[in-house]
Structure 1
């Protein structure tokens, strides 16, 4: 059954709700990287559509933050692995103009299986990770392609350094992010020359995602990671958001690239 709901109640065209004319869609943006990216785009003058699957309260809180910036912002509920919901999401995000300037494929999930537990892999979990992280990315990009082409837009996918090299993440998650890296390169050719497609590959981001991954070892391992990083700290959500924005907006002759955001850790260890 298709799950779809939009939070775009009727309102007058006040300064805070007049459309800016530039549109962006960020999937999986109730919190974390998606929220940070959405806020960065809103601050830059984009009308931002955020998307969430289950985190309604967090999405509404993020939407409230977005509406502190001028523009018409909205939150749309929908599972990116559901193609019908995705097509409706793309339609709503493009709006009356039928164009989309920026798509950020951020929606993602992971498995609870420990990274080295090959025998313990739950194949249902494996399938769900790939449905969201890989199939979801393809479905969203495909649905948004006409609007992106009409705008001469840009796609930024959120990968991970574990898609480039081994790390302390479940096998399903790491493999799905390797697929994101591959799809970024392939889609940059498929959507050329009108649409650029790039990806970011963050390192260990300080906050709740790594807290869940590292558990009781979070503080110790994050401190060690920062010591081993040339720039002497771990990645922040704001670091990732700024890099996504730069790839989407500033680098007009860059496509098919994966930008590693880890302060030089991967390059030097």
Structure 2
């Protein structure tokens, strides 16, 4: 086995994925970084990871396409020879008008589930042989607080994240005791994703959410990556759990 640990992060170009790649690199992992469309962001993140001492591999793949996923995993196996960590972070959402069910495009519904749910399963399934070659392997999935309680997010996104919550628990049961599987459920997160969701009301609504949060701010992608790393490297008797990262907001409302 190589002296360095090995990881795959899907959706690793920007946001939570980028922070996860860099956190893993700092912790001594070589990192395979998957992206779907953000080629420039992926190369930028990989370059930063290399500056931190990591060997990197950048791989374009649509995680909803099983054939592409299998090819990606074969490339990673050839390059790294196994994995200690898998971060299933690739995700997408749909557009809609809040409380207007007719505004949902069912093609977007299907695409959201294909990436967020089927993609998470397909990547995990294809990674199992590589994880079994690793030392104390673990998987972390990106869920969301909206998969645990209702909110204004698009229905297919919320429902898909609820499915990721269940999938995490079911995979933990199926892959134990060799492979642990957990998930993180971030609350309202600073940055581009919520800017797109909230539009011109971003500053006002995020400020209100921060004031209503016991820790008096909203979560960042680095906060999420820190928790992911803890679940991957430690917590050896924890599997099938969903860790909420929202500064205590849901526990106080």
TM-based fold match above 0.5: yes
Q: Does 1:202 align with 2:186?
A: yes
Cα distance in 2 for partners of 1:268, 1:23 equals 38
2:237 alignment partner in structure 1: 253
Cα distance in 2 for partners of 1:226, 1:88 equals 43
TM-score (normalised: structure 1): 0.91
Query: Unpaired runs of 5+ in structure 2?
Result: none
Q: Does 1:182 align with 2:171?
A: no
**TM superposition outliers: structure 1 runs of 4+ over 4 Å:** none
Contact 1:203 1:261 in 2 (8 A): yes
Residue 142 of structure 1, CA deviation: 0.3
1:133 to 110, 116, 121: 116
Cα distance in 2 for partners of 1:195, 1:240 equals 21
Matches within 5 A, 1:114-263: 114-151=97-134, 152-263=136-247
Residue 71 of structure 1, CA deviation: 2.9
1:98 alignment partner in structure 2: 81
1:26 alignment partner in structure 2: 9
State the Cα RMSD in Å: 1.1
Contact 1:34 1:106 in 2 (8 A): yes
Does the residue aligned with 1:25 lie in a helix, a strand or coil?
strand
Residue 219 of structure 1, CA deviation: 0.5
Does the residue aligned with 2:250 lie in a helix, a strand or coil?
helix
Query: Unpaired runs of 5+ in structure 1?
Result: 1-18
TM-score (normalised: structure 2): 0.96
